[in-house]
Structure 1
Amino acid sequence: MSLLPPQGRTLRACLGLIAGTSLAFPAMAEFQALDDATLSGVTGQAGVTIELETRLTIDHLIWTDEGSLGVNGLRLSGQNDTVLDNMNLTIDIAGTGEVLEHGFSEIARRANAGLLDTSNPDVADALARYSVGGSFGRQFDNGDLVIHLGASDYGDPASLTDYLQAVDFELAIDSITTQGSEGSASLFSNILLQGYLGPTDLVIRNEGNATRTLANGNTVSSSELQLDTHFEISNGSLNWDAADVILLFNFAAVGIEGLQIHNRRGADTLGHFGMAHARASLSRGTSSASGKEGLSVHEVEFRGDIDMPVFRMGDTSIGSVQFTDFAITNTTLMVYGH
């Protein structure tokens, strides 16, 4: 008769079961700890791929303070109001020094395989930029969360056009309005933007509680979200009813048709395959000027060319407008409540 309490007898039974199992399956009887070097070889080898298609509509989006700002009749879809599809999201948590998909790394992979002509300066730049130790992409630090948006099907692997136009989109907004005690006003109306979405990356850098100081003195967290995207607007139109641009130009009663945003002219086209490029980093920050804490948006950059073949003042066209090497750089925003 056993003198062990019930929980003791249960423990003895479990130990007996484990021992019996190890005798029955001797191959499982020995456990070996993996050292850091061994673990580094398997970390990050698995990830998640999401094939995505969607159509987004929002009837009204309203922000209310003393007055209100409204976005009315918003729709995000494929061109001509079709489903936005043919998108692949790859999600990985990087190991130390791991190379993951980023930017035009797929172009570099094809160029290395001889599928694309490296006499094309953009292709040669991609091959040099995204080749890392026999892999293709960008090297990340341990714990970085990396989300890369590309296409499910890029078409002919030897065609740059198929690659660049694999994901088409359309953004439509009926109007953007303000409402206050003195009535309402339309800022923009009849917005329609059609184009192509290039490689887009979201990276959440894992730097713990570390901070750094920007050139303007603001202190920001080194753990930040980094956005990097390429895109092209192939056809766009809007009515600019009442709005200021960079606090300098009032474009009230302006209509724009045939809008295109790309990067095919000028001195900074290399590496962009004719697409406009935008990037920014977001993190918690503290303003050096006010001492306020808020959302820091820093390292903001936009580069592209802008074509407006029909530029109307009221009902009358005044001709066409073109910007070449339009660049926004050295831009930092600190956003907080008041």
Structure 2
Amino acid sequence: MKGLKPTLLALCVAGAPTLVLAGAGFQPLDEASMGNITGQAGVTIELETKLNIDRFIYTDEGSLEINDIFVGGANRTDMFSEMGVNMSGAATDRLDNIRVNIDIASDGDAIINLLPLSFNAVDLRISTGAWNLKGSGGSTTILDNFNMDALVGSGTIRIDTATDKLNFKTDIAIDDLDFDVPFLALGIRDFEMTGADYDLQAPQPLRVFAPVELDIYKAPNANNVDSLAIDLHTFEADIRIGGVIVGGTSIGSVALDNLAITNTSMLIYGH
């Protein structure tokens, strides 16, 4: 084997799969036969997962450290309890009930649809521990005790070959969001976000979701350097905050009715 020339060895390795397939009764397809094979059915992925990260650290000259990150299921059946309907199915701490359909359109566009496996929405929990800024001057906790329980109705990602843009659409509702900002002695409790037409007195499941649409692509900044561009086309929601905590005491609640953010663009780049 030591004396076998590399070219001969490569030919043997390249020919081995053909010999094996032929021996098993498989015949190679000619170009005409290959042309009749299409991927019209696409690919479907059923997903079930949860994610734990002990610590995420972003370092520039100093660093930002995010501790105890969890992404999974909300493990609840009482989301938006005023409807009297179980919107999320069985209680579990796994991110589940997700079907991902992947297709390539005739024009080359990639289309990824995120859909629930059953009629229930996808329940989501994101939580973290302390967010710390660290450097030679010391350390400051800018955020702590972050916990968000949300429902996702759907999501679509389309990569357009004509415009080189990634378009993202989703429908999301936040049932409960809490967090503290220790260095400001500030806390937010019972933050809730729904669709702009959601009525607490006559709640409807299909109106609970707030629509979000944005484009992500490459664009030049003021110095003509390629940068990450994000255009927010649609965000319409009602927002309610049950308690604003300042210095350990609630100073009241806040409500934003029919909040609409449109025609918003940003460029992100290093400096």
TM-score by length of 1: 0.60
2: distance between equivalents of 1:311 and 1:32?
A: 67
Q: 2:98 aligns with which of 62, 73, 87?
A: 87
* One-letter identity of the residue aligned with 1:315: G
1:167 partnered with 2:122: yes
2: distance between equivalents of 1:317 and 1:206?
A: 51
CA drift of 1:52 comes to 0.2
* One-letter identity of the residue aligned with 1:197: V
2:179 — aligned with what?
A: 238
Provide the aligned C-alpha RMSD in A. Answer: 2.6
Gaps of 5+ in 1: 1-27, 96-141, 155-161, 208-221, 243-251
Q: 1:284 aligns with which of 199, 218, 221?
A: 218
Three-state SS of the structure 1 residue aligned to 2:262 is: strand
1:200 partnered with 2:133: no
1:254 — aligned with what?
A: 186
CA drift of 1:241 comes to 2.9
1:1-338 equivalences under 5 Å are 45-80=40-75, 82-95=93-106, 142-154=107-119, 162=120, 166-207=121-162, 222-242=163-183, 252-265=184-197, 273-287=207-221, 289-338=222-271
Would you say the 8 A contact 1:172–1:190 is kept in 2?
Answer: yes
CA drift of 1:173 comes to 0.9
For residues 182 and 148 of structure 1, do their structure 2 counterparts lie closer, same or farther at Cα, with a shift above 3 Å needed?
Answer: same
2: distance between equivalents of 1:280 and 1:308?
A: 25
1:20 — aligned with what?
A: none
1:109 — aligned with what?
A: none
Three-state SS of the structure 1 residue aligned to 2:176 is: strand
Would you say the 8 A contact 1:55–1:76 is kept in 2?
Answer: yes
Residues 263-303 of structure 1, C-alpha deviation per residue, up to 9 Å, x if partnerless? 14489xxxx7221222211111112x332221111245422
Identity of paired residues, percent?
33
Asked which structure has the greater CA Rg, the reply is 1
1: distance between equivalents of 2:131 and 2:217?
A: 28
1: distance between equivalents of 2:48 and 2:241?
A: 31
CA drift of 1:63 comes to 0.8
Please state which structure has a larger fraction of its residues in strand: 2
1: distance between equivalents of 2:150 and 2:181?
A: 20
For residues 327 and 176 of structure 1, do their structure 2 counterparts lie closer, same or farther at Cα, with a shift above 3 Å needed?
Answer: farther
TM-score by length of 2: 0.74
1: distance between equivalents of 2:267 and 2:34?
A: 47
CA drift of 1:33 comes to 11
* One-letter identity of the residue aligned with 2:143: F
Count, aligned residues: 221
Three-state SS of the structure 1 residue aligned to 2:261 is: strand
Gaps of 5+ in 2: 1-28, 76-91, 200-205
1: distance between equivalents of 2:161 and 2:152?
A: 27
2: distance between equivalents of 1:32 and 1:266?
A: 54
For residues 169 and 257 of structure 1, do their structure 2 counterparts lie closer, same or farther at Cα, with a shift above 3 Å needed?
Answer: same
> Which 10-residue stretch deviates more, 291-300 or 82-91?
291-300
Would you say the 8 A contact 1:176–1:189 is kept in 2?
Answer: yes
* One-letter identity of the residue aligned with 1:62: I
1: distance between equivalents of 2:130 and 2:223?
A: 35
CA drift of 1:32 comes to 9.0
